[in-house]
A and B are shown apart, each in its own frame.
Chain A
Amino acid sequence: MSKKRTGVFVCHCGTNIAATVDVARVAKEMADENTVAFTQEYVYMCSEPGQESVVQAIKDNKLDSVVVTCCSPNLHEKTFRDNAKRAGINNFTCEIANIREQCSWVHADKAKGTEKAIKISRSIVRRVNRNNPLEAIAVPVTKRAMVIGGGIAGIQAALDIANAGIEVILVEKQATIGGRMLQLSETFPTLDCSQCVLSPKMVEVNRHPNIRLMTYSEVQEVGGSVGNFRVKVLKKPTFVDPDKCKICDHCTAVCPQVVPNEYELNLNARRAIYIPYAQAIPASFTLDIDACLGLNPVVCGKCKDVCEAGAIDYDMQPQTVTEDVGAIVVATGFDLYGQENMYEMGGGKVEDVLDGLQFERLISASGATHGHILRPSDHKEPKDVVFIQCVGSRDPAKHCAYCSKICCMYTAKHARLYKKHVPDGRAYVFYIDIRSGGKGYEEFVQRTMEDDDTLYLRGRVSKLYRKGEKIKVMGTDTLTGQNVEIDADMVVLALAMVPSQGTVDIAKTLKIGRDKDGFLAEAHPKLRPVESVTGGIYLAGAAQAPKDIPETVAQAGAAAAKVIALLSQATLNRSPLIAKVRPSHCTGCGMCVEACPFIAIRLENGKAIVNEALCEGCGSCSATCLRAAIDVKNVTQLQIHEMIEACLA
């Protein structure tokens, strides 16, 4: 092997690196390396002149490999590999030494930071010394997308992708699409009816020639990678054929089984056979197997007897369907932080203490009380209603540290809607401060305070308990410095938004990360807000972070645009950093075959063979090979040993 001619480019990143790492010394030390033919420092290597200087230096000095010591490879590996290619050398001979995130930003001591930066840089120089030129592997793309979650985020993403002419499979766990938005009464700041805005979109999804809707279905398993995922979906039996069901409602009239209605947040009950909402899509009844007496005509069978359409089929079986898709959008939404976690707010045990979603159902014309505000306990109209904001939010000591973002607005909306329904009622709002950033939002809150005569009290509630007919709410008004006691008829808690259980589960299934609060993690907080860390998997809606409807719709559109861009390519480039066997060293012991999680290695004539289409390049094989006969390209055992040496010099 002829000696490499490596160029080392040391970035100052303004003062981000240069303040705590002696960049000149890093460059000087690298110049002393045997294989380094050129070194250069620059204040912003990723800027246009910085990148140009890299290209020029490669050409002028006939460099064959490049090390850029700068920020994380997640940010600029692609940038500099593209530059290497532009300068006419192989892009896989360019590597990044991360001396910012892993060094300058975390070590204030300049002497120690510089030492570490030198070790990191030297280890990468040694690695590059044995890097081989590689070509990315072109793989065909499956031009079909899957959207998981049928709330407003999933609906919007599915429609946008489908309108671009790409087939979409929309998977929803519940019996209907619509998600949380379908449960809302009116939406801020315009107070237009949520269902009126959403229903046409739901119908469009159902009728769209490019959208295949799978409700009452759950994603079970995902394999493959960007461009070519294979997804197993479990289609649970509804025991009702949606094509035959005429939603005549005869079955519910005879069903003897009554269970709490989760779609109405348990404010009323439903039968074992039910339709979640009048606007449900698909427009069909569903038989809840857990509530049913047992699909046994001898035991009951009443629904089947009355169904004139013959839509009920007790023999319907769960089905597992395998779908090939090129991209996935995860839009699995949020839940509310459980009242049972809020001991100081009664822990969910005090009657007439509702959460925000229950209040939405209470004021919704399609809700349990047909839009009349009545207390669940005695069906009387409440005259004193206390709304409490930040319940569980902004409380790092006991609950969720983050702000749930939408509660200031929906509490203002609730107060206004309450005053509209009960003009002689009194509304009180306990708040920490009002966060009403958004178009028309601040004006909306001001109108609630001034025009609707809502009493805003700046302070928190320490305790509430039932006292006879009333709920005693004990709080503080920090602006007057007085403690406040209110005898309320109803209390509405603006509970924190938390990632839904479906979000928690799907993150595991898809192996995409979650952030410290449990929401789905985006690839970069500012520059890649709709991508997950895994290529080809995109995020939309409140599963990623608390957000309101316009933001959700915008993010869903952005995710759709990313999917369309991805699936518009004829082929995708796959990383060529996969396993390679050195047949001369292989004894055919088969340990690598056992270790491979992807079943990508087999033995043939006593030698290991790698299936390049299946290998993901994890390196589990190389770590088991006693003779170093199998290695991941450009991450070989020899390279690692030399990197270790460089780290300890």
Chain B
Amino acid sequence: MSEPQADFEPKIVAFLCKWCSSAGSDLAGVSRIQYPANATPITIPCTGAVSPMYILSAFNKGADGVLVSGCHIGDCHYIEGNYLARRKMHLTMELLKFIGLEPNRFRMSWVSAAEGAKFAQVVTEFVDDVRKLGPQDKLRKVVSQ
């Protein structure tokens, strides 16, 4: 594990489901709750739509961390999409660990539309954790000059 790097700004991709976590991030905005700008959101219909390929693709394209956030278990707008996501993301985590990636670079969280403060907290903690790990180069595609 790398030493904490104060000047390192991690690049994070955050997959947010449209119904809960994206709406939760909107509420954080409306409530003006500040959090680090490192996570760039991609809104998808449901966490169930997040393919493990997206996670690998993000690391491959240079992400230092990937966050997937959806509705609380039992509250999925599509009945069971987040159950499917939970299973898939668990396997993805196992795969990433097998490859040798630090588990703290990948996180799944449940943030409802009413949890603006929680959304800000999840991002803040995740950015802190990834910052401690330094740049991710295990899965980064190196383009030779």
Contacts and interface: CB of A to CB of B under 8 A. Distances in A.
Please say whether chains A and B are actual partners in one complex: yes
A597 B79 contact: yes
A644 B113 contact: no
Name which of B20, B49, B113 has the most chain A CB atoms within 10 A of its CB: B49
Contact of B78 (A597, A637, A645): A597
Contacts of A641: 53-54, 57
Interface in B42-83: 42-46, 48-54, 57-58, 61-63, 74-81
A426 to B, nearest CB: 44
B40 interface: yes
A645 B41 contact: no
A112 B127 CA distance: 14
B54 A101 contact: no
Nearest to B28: A106
A439 interface: no
Contacts, number: 153
A619 B13 contact: no
Contact of A640 (B28, B36, B44, B75): B44
A644 B57 contact: yes
A501 interface: no
Contacts of A643: 42
Interface residues of A, number: 51
A514 interface: yes
Interface in A502-546: 508, 511, 513-516, 521, 533-534
Contact of B29 (A101, A119, A577): A101
Nearest to B80: A597
B13 A623 contact: no
A635 interface: yes
Interface residues of B, number: 53
A118 to B, nearest CB: 10
B17 to A, nearest CB: 9
Contacts of A616: 78
Contacts of A511: 75-77, 79
Contact of B45 (A120, A534, A619): A619
B5 interface: no
Contacts of A35: none
A72 B37 contact: no
A647 B33 contact: no
A632 B51 CA distance: 13
A620 B34 contact: no
B44 A74 contact: no
B108 interface: no
Name which of B27, B29, B41, B61 has the most chain A CB atoms within 10 A of its CB: B29
Given A74-B26, A101-B30, A106-B33, A619 B79 contact: no
Contacts of A107: 34-37
B8 to A, nearest CB: 14
Given A620-B81, A622-B49, A647 B42 contact: yes
Per CB-CB distance, the 3 closest pairs between chain A and chain B, nearest first, are A619-B49, A101-B29, A618-B78
20 contacts: A74-B26, A98-B43, A101-B28, A107-B36, A108-B34, A109-B37, A112-B37, A508-B74, A513-B23, A513-B75, A521-B113, A521-B114, A534-B77, A597-B79, A618-B77, A620-B81, A623-B88, A640-B44, A648-B11, A648-B58
Interface of B: 9, 11, 13, 19-20, 23, 25-30, 32-37, 40-46, 48-54, 57-58, 61-63, 74-81, 84-85, 88, 112-115, 120
Interface of A: 72-74, 98, 100-103, 105-109, 112-113, 115-116, 119-120, 123, 508, 511, 513-516, 521, 533-534, 577, 595, 597-598, 616-620, 622-624, 632, 635, 637, 640-641, 643-645, 647-648
